[in-house]
Amino acid sequence: CDEGTFATTEVTLFDSKGAELTEQRRSEQRWKALQKAPKPNGLQLRLIRHACKQAGREVAANIAESPKKKVKATLGAGIVANRDGAIVTNHHVVSQCATITVIDQKKKRHTATLVGSDLKNDLALLRAEGRFPKAATFRRDDPIEAGESVTVVGYPLAAILGTDPNVNFGYVTALAGLRGDSSRFQVAAPIHKGNSGGPVLDQSGRVAGIVTAKLNARAVEKRTGDRPENIGFAVRGDLAQTFLERYDVRLQTESGEAKLENTEVAAIGRAVTVLIACRKTP
């Protein structure tokens, strides 16, 4: 306790049934020679503190615990662009990440790295380790239209609602974003934190857009006195395709497909949407 050091004095090994296999004891001279300082915040430090407290002793000041680094984690969604591990998401979902983990529908974890970003269109490309069973199909040659029914898939409020892909249905309300931004379109569907980077699917199960934001209803109410509901924004799917092709990502595209049942579109969306965990350190 006075020196703030530790050493192993005795080791006993047991088999899986609890029978003792071997025992090793070190002499006092030997373990004193092997004493060393514990690592900050480690198990040895906690044991020393506990033992000294039981003995009514104060632990040495030189092994005071160092402050723990705060690690911030954020969650978002991504779309499997091809089975070889190309994942498209929002730039803001993976900005300034120390580590990125992609978790698929079967809860398999894949380490991912950031390949490239398009800040203007809030797009990012990840490369995840391993292969994926299914990849998204992107809408080709069919401009999105106002009034179309769409399906939004993501992980809204995952800390509360869980990490199964969440499906919501809505429709396209306008063909431009805030102040006429032609790179976005508006959707009327429930969107929350964790939806960012997830797909907006058309009635054929094709990716027509990527969720990027929702209107801040509280700020609008404070400014206008009117509280808007379920106004979200998505990056146009053709811009996402152009972005991915810039990095030679092979895509599946289709046009003119028949309409599917909501349950069929939901199954497609859940299969190609992944959870993205971004860990950030100060």
> 278, 74 in Cβ contact below 8 A?
yes
Q: Is 196 a known active-site residue?
A: yes
CA angle 273, 277, 282 (to 5 degrees): 155
Amino acid at 275: L
Q: Is 95 a known active-site residue?
A: no
CA-to-CA separations, 24 to 9, 10, 11, 34, 210, in angstroms, rounded: 8, 6, 5, 15, 62
Distance in angstroms (rounded) separating the CA atoms of residues 5 and 7 = 7
* Marked catalytic residue, from 91, 104, 117, 122: 122
* Marked catalytic residue, from 91, 104, 117, 196: 196
Residue with tokens 């991504």: 78
DSSP reduced 3-state for 269: helix
Distance in angstroms (rounded) separating the CA atoms of residues 236 and 198 = 12
> 170, 156 in Cβ contact below 8 A?
no
Catalytic residues: 92, 122, 196
